[in-house]
Amino acid sequence: MLIIRGADIYAPDHIGIRDVMVCGGKIELIRERIEVPADFPNCREIDGSGLIMTPGLIDQHVHITGGGGEGSFHTRVPEAKLSDFVNGGVTTVVGLLGTDGITRSVENLTAKAKALKEEGMTAYALTGSYGYPSPTITGDVKKDIVFIDEILGLKLAISDHRAPNIPTDELIRTASDVRTAGMVSGKPGILVLHMGDDKAGLQPVFDALEKTSIPIKTFRPTHVSRNHNLLLQAFRFAKMGGYIDLTCDNEEDKEVAEALLLAKQEGVPLDRITMSSDGQGSFSSYDSQGNLTKMGVSSLSAMLHQLKDLIENHGYSMEEILPHMTSYVARALELYPKKGCIEEGADGDILLMEKNCSLHTVIAMGKIMMNEGNIVVKGTYED
């Protein structure tokens, strides 16, 4: 049993200073004051005075087995480590493959998700990669989603020079398969679409929606702020009821702040906008001839850095930004209210932060992973 006393809670709505009791991996009580008998065994307390409490961040786009590889074999990015997630305040992750569905596999991806679960956090995965036909474990996208616990949906790339550029009829068939498998298995059944810079943008998705009755929630475009025309298409998609995902900025970028400002001006429902890190994936640039000119690796702390940047440098409040990384994501993944909130009955995924958004304590499924800024639980082979 764990009691956190006197933290200022953003649940993600601001509810003020409360005590929170965590037991059996769940949030059991939230009260102004929780009294525990002095002789009650195995009760640990954390003083949250002066600290902010939030739900753990949910990162729905991470290359947990490493991304990259677009500059030959030496550019393959290493696997993510548990401590990297803890340092980033991430307690729930969705892993996926990227450009490289050749030297990397869905089997390895799923094994990594299982390993992260065994090490203490919540982990899911997507079958498929950029390519088509989609690489799978069972040989069938539907069976992967239905029979493999960790797999929530399918990854596919469109409108990108590295994408398979499948025709609309195949996109419809694939989305229908994912939708049906989700219904059968009680999962969200999502088709996560890596969006590239090609001028078609989201038009294949609009065509699929016009021709069929597949629910718009099935399609999940990401990286939508990478160019202005795509962002405007994404805003149209969100106004239709879909979810769109912004990739957190790298060092010199300010795309997210600009996208949020424009979304407000365009009247986009903000609860349809989520954020993710693209962590352990490579960000790359190409010249007009398609030659690689720049490559870097996205940080697993990108969401935490984005939160701090938007609050400190762009005038947003914690209450405005936090849902894009917690409750909105949990709703999009159909995990709410189990995830993404500080509520009685929710999983014990909790962050304690200083007022400047630096991490003090990270708790995943009721287990303390970081205490007073120091990681106390590391991955199996970490020093």
Q: Are residues 24 and 91 in the same domain?
A: no
CATH of the domain at 175: 3.20.20.140
Question: Using one digit for the tens of pLDDT, what is the confidence trace for 155-205?
Answer: 999 999 889 989 999 999 999 999 999 999 999 999 999 999 999 999 999
In a domain, 164, yes or no: yes
Same domain, 125 and 152: yes
For residue 381, being part of any structural domain is answered with no
- The confidence band for 285, taking pLDDT boundaries of 50, 70 and 90, is low
pTM of the complete model:
0.95
DSSP line for 332-364: HTT-TTTSSS--TTSB--EEEE-TTS-EEEEEE
Mean pLDDT for all residues in the chain: 95
Q: How far apart are CA 345 and CA 354, in angstroms?
A: 25
278 is catalytic: yes
CATH of the domain at 15: 2.30.40.10
Q: Is residue 254 part of a domain?
A: yes
**208 by DSSP, 3-state: which?**
helix
Q: Please identify which of the residues 160, 177, 278, 349 carries the catalytic annotation.
A: 278
The parent domain of residue 184 ranges over 56-332
Where b means 16+ CB within 10 Å and e means fewer, 43-77 reads eeebebeebbbbbbbbbbbbbbbbbbbbeeeebbb
Do 175 and 283 share a domain, yes or no?
yes
Q: Residues 315, 319, 321, 324: what is their CA dihedral angle, to the nearest 10 degrees?
A: -170
Percentage of the chain modeled with pLDDT above 70: 96
Q: What is the full DSSP assignment across 79-120?
A: PP-HHHHHHTTEEEEEE---S--SSS-HHHHHHHHHHHHHHT
